[in-house]
Amino acid sequence: MKIVEPSTENIRHAAEILRNGGLIIMPTETVYGVAADMTNPEAVKKVYEVKGRPRENPLIVHIASHDQICSLVSDWNADAESLAKRFWPGPLTLVVKKSALVPSEVTAGLDTVAIRMPSHPVARMLLQTAGVPIVAPSANRFMQLSATRADHVDPQLAEKVELILDGGPCQVGLESTVVNCSQEPPIILRPGGVTRAEIQAAIKMPLGALPPGGPKRSPGMYPRHYAPKSPVILVELLEPGQTGLTFEDSGGPEQIRMPLDPIAYGATLYDALHTLDQTEPEAIFVELPPETPDWEAVLDRLKKAAGGGD
Ligand code: TXA
Ligand code: MG
Tell me, in angstroms, the distance from the centre of ligand 1 to residue 236's CA.
31
Q: State the amino acid at position 34 in one-letter form.
A: V
Q: State the amino acid at position 89 in one-letter form.
A: P
Residue 299 has pLDDT above 60, yes or no: yes
The contacts of residue 99 (CB under 8 Å, 6+ apart) are 71, 72, 73, 74, 113
Q: Which atom of ligand 1 is nearest to the CA of 118?
A: 7
pLDDT band at 297 (very low <50, low <70, confident <90, very high): very high
Counting ligands in written order, which one lies closest to the CA of residue 47?
1
The contacts of residue 205 (CB under 8 Å, 6+ apart) are 185
Q: How many CB atoms lie within 10 A of CB 188?
A: 23
* C-alpha span between 76 and 195 (Å, rounded): 22
- CB within 5 A of ion ligand 2: which residues? 138
pLDDT per residue as tens digits for the range 178-187: 999 999 999 9
Reduced 3-state DSSP string for the chain: CCEECCCHHHHHHHHHHHHCCCCEEECCCCCCEEEEECCCHHHHHHHHHHHCCCCCCCCEEECCCHHHHHHHEEECCHHHHHHHHHHCCCCEEEEEEECCCCCHHHHCCCCEEEEECCCCHHHHHHHHHHCCCEECCECCCCCECCCCCHHHCCHHHHCCCCCEECCCCCCCCCCCEEEECCCCCCEEEECCCCCHHHHHHHHCCCCECCCCCCCCCCCCCCCCCCECCCCEEEECCCCCCCCEEECCCCCCCCEEECCCCHHHHHHHHHHHHHHHHCCCCCCEEEECCCCCHHHHHHHHHHHHHCCCCC
What percent of the chain stands above pLDDT 70?
Answer: 95
Nearest CA to ligand 1 atom 15: 137
Q: How many CB atoms lie within 10 A of CB 2?
A: 13
Q: Which atom of ligand 1 is nearest to the CA of 139?
A: 6
Q: Over range 161-168, report the average pLDDT.
A: 98
Q: How many CB atoms lie within 10 A of CB 220?
A: 19
pLDDT at res. 218: 59
pLDDT at res. 215: 44
Nearest CA to ligand 1 atom 6: 33
Dmax (CA) of the chain: 58
The pTM is what? 0.95
Q: How many CB atoms lie within 10 A of CB 27?
A: 28
pLDDT band at 271 (very low <50, low <70, confident <90, very high): very high
Q: Name all residues whose Cβ lies below 6 A of ligand 1.
A: 28, 30-31, 33, 57-60, 93, 95, 107, 110, 112-114, 116, 118, 136-138, 175-176, 178, 189-190, 218-221
Q: How many CB atoms lie within 10 A of CB 213?
A: 7
The contacts of residue 253 (CB under 8 Å, 6+ apart) are none
Tell me, in angstroms, the distance from the centre of ligand 2 to residue 270's CA.
12
Nearest CA to ligand 1 atom 10: 137
What percent of the chain stands above pLDDT 90?
Answer: 89
pLDDT per residue as tens digits for the range 195-251: 999 999 999 999 998 877 654 445 556 666 677 889 999 999 999 999 999 999 888
